[in-house]
Structure 1
């Protein structure tokens, strides 16, 4: 875990792309896209069907590492609203155990706007906790501190003469105590959008500056994405 100060609060960004909020003893994860494998299989594209097990296993590891008692998911929890009905028994048991062990809140997203609760937890379209808004997609024009997902931001880096793409957090900076953050996607079967894509920059306005944050050993490396014109 690497400490991260944001909007007047202290967080920690885990290597598996979860965000831990110590003051609330809460774990935040975005874009799980559970049952994406079974969704593709229904449409004739056969890929390994164990993505939900792997994603839920990594959440369990993050809960164990942080001791979190609350979990907030920031939308696109399932790849479609019917995904929760397709969970095979093993993955369903894993999920039920996690929602029993924590205060689990599902924030819905554009992929699962009509998801039903079948394995525990509660549903919300968005929340405001301790002055921070939790929602799926960053809302352009939002001036309150905000945590969201949706975009699956990734950053292209050159490491040892080869190019790699790494999941990253995107942070928009404003006045002291404000700011907005897009979390990296957590799910096993999630691609990504370039962190500097105009769609992300537009969604994060108003801002004075926008940066990408990537794990670099025991620290977070900062890469400028956008700066307000002088």
Structure 2
């Protein structure tokens, strides 16, 4: 499996080009900020319309990552749906998601957009501590061994922004996994204040690469 391998709290993790995080020792695949139903939520509120296939695009990528890794645990790090109404998936998408969940442990972490899709199976938690690592939606400045999401970090290369993992000795902040989710530049507060000196941005996509975080 291609990706960027690194150590956090003595554990070996891998950032994947798709934006997922892989913890091989626990066969655990973590993704953050799926924002399923985003186009529906924006349409309901009269905003600029997004392509209506974002749910299918996100589930296609998740399906491929689960198949690629044979993950036994899938951990969704919050904002899995764009709001509670968006959790009302179409029947086809609900069946697709239910199929992905079958036979594996599936954990929904509470986000700021949704308290977790409580009408779907799986475990519903505010955060999760597993070994030396803690998984939550929003980073806490004093935390160590922390894996979070929320900020949708992105970094610029060759004049264009790409979603990025932010990685330092204390934490990793995952990029948004969902399609059409936008992002926050990694050099802006609060991201630049959360990350320690020596932090990197690992840019996702077909040609992933690592860049030092300026000013860190």
TM-score, scaled relative to structure 1? 0.86
Alignment pair present for 1:60 and 2:72: no
Map Cα deviations across residues 199-225 of structure 1 (whole Å, 9 max, x no partner): 112234xx3432212258787423233
Alignment pair present for 1:18 and 2:53: no
Alignment pair present for 1:221 and 2:215: no
Alignment RMSD: 1.8
Query: Where do 5+ consecutive residues of structure 1 fail to align?
Result: 174-178
Q: Partners of 1:3 and 1:43 in 2: how far apart?
A: 39
Partner of 2:164: 168
Q: Contact 1:211 / 1:226 at 8 angstroms: preserved in 2?
A: no
Which is greater in Rg?
Answer: 1
Partner secondary structure for residue 226 of structure 1: coil
Q: Contact 1:100 / 1:120 at 8 angstroms: preserved in 2?
A: no
* Structure ranking higher in strand proportion: 1
Which residues of 2 match residues 1-230 of structure 1 at below 5 A? 1-7=2-8, 8-45=10-47, 46-84=49-87, 86-113=88-115, 115-142=116-143, 144-158=144-158, 163-173=159-169, 179-204=170-195, 207-215=196-204, 220-227=209-216
Partner secondary structure for residue 5 of structure 1: strand
Query: Where do 5+ consecutive residues of structure 2 fail to align?
Result: none
Q: Contact 1:196 / 1:225 at 8 angstroms: preserved in 2?
A: yes
Residue 190 of structure 1 deviates from its aligned partner by: 0.7
Map Cα deviations across residues 73-106 of structure 1 (whole Å, 9 max, x no partner): 111110112321x201111111111112321100
Partner secondary structure for residue 76 of structure 2: strand
Q: Contact 2:18 / 2:205 at 8 angstroms: preserved in 1?
A: no
